[in-house]
Structure 1
Amino acid sequence: MRSISFVVALLFALVSSTYAWPEIHVLEARKGGKGNGTANGNSVNRACRKMAKLESITALAANQTKLDAMVAKGRLNATEVEAIKAKAANATTELQTMQGNTTFVTECAVIGAHQKVVGQCKAMKSLAKLSDLANNATAMAALASKKQLNETQMAKLQEKIGNATTKLKEMQANTTLTDLCASQQKAKAGDASASTSATQAQSTGGSAAKGAAAGLSAQSAPYIFVPLLAGVFAMLL
């Protein structure tokens, strides 16, 4: 009789534990897989860079005047010139195939324009830092001391700063470029803010999941231990 009572109590405990944790699996962390959007974008970028490289070497191979000038300056020798021409000849078929895909060419044009703007914005930022030295004697002196510049080097630095100021003014006169740079900076700030928010959300979600798990454990305790205790008492009777 005692054995039967214990078995009944044990079965009741198992049923109760099932009731106590009906949805425990929903608290498990889910690892989101990475989408292939970035991979596809990188693939297109690589293909565009390859096409640009093939176009560059083909154009160079066809420009004998430029090749002769590079040889005269010691930048190339006769063997290297022949290698460039051979590489350009081998690339002709592949380049024609790539250029025949109008959709791909259009995508590369968009990517190229974007990369050009990014490069120009970075250049403006560097020029602005260099130009600021012209009106900051303290920073200029600190730089000269840090780099241990002599008079000749300081003169070259002054010339470089002057050229940077002139170039910066020319670039800043292009309102389209300055607007694009401002938009790019704003987009970067937005991405940084979104990344911070996502990190905080993940942290909050993890804390909530732990709290929910703890709550379930506390709520489920009576459903498990009470029937088990009842079974023990039944055996003692």
Structure 2
Amino acid sequence: MVKPAFTILKKEIAIELRTRYALNTLLAFTGASLLLILFTLRADQMNPTPKSGLVWIIILFAAMTGMMRSFLQEADKKTWDLLKLHAQPTDIFTGKILYNFLFLLILHIFTFFFYLFMMNMSIVSFPYFVAAILFGSAGLAAVTTLTSAMIAKADRKGSIFSVLCIPLLVPLLLILTSVTKSALIEGATPDALDDLTALIGYCGVTITAGVLLFDFIWED
């Protein structure tokens, strides 16, 4: 399982490095959103609590813009059946979700670096901050990868992707907002530990559900 999954991961990285479409698009979208929020909403003057959650709205729409393409290239380039012949569904899902996780991790680091700088915020609890970035990337990758496979052969991909993703991502965003608030404002508290446990549980459930359901989506 490991070798085919890493082969697919390397393929995804090679394609992205060749075109740089998704990376350039998401970085440009994120940078423009940060500047827009800073200068039009005067977000740097907000209270710390809404400032700690605003960043996830930016990341959500950036992820919705780029992660939809996870399986679209297989459908557009007619390589869907070829990939079926050379890898098992679980291997394909593992390789795709690893790539999306790494991609979103880069996006999160880039976004938080500039967001904290522009908003003049500091990190109060570094472990919670790292957990929010890592598990936030994992949760977003799990949901968007599975949803992208579901809509890859649909006619109106963009609208269907948003309709399916947003209800699944709302609980994740609420949990991430609480964890980020602990990381940037309140520090480690008993309630923060409960939020962190819920975040880990969410990622575990979505990844497990993706592994179990992807066989049926891929073969359909």
TM-score class normalised by the smaller sequence: under 0.3
**Normalising by the residue count of structure 1, what TM-score does the alignment of the two structures yield?**
0.23
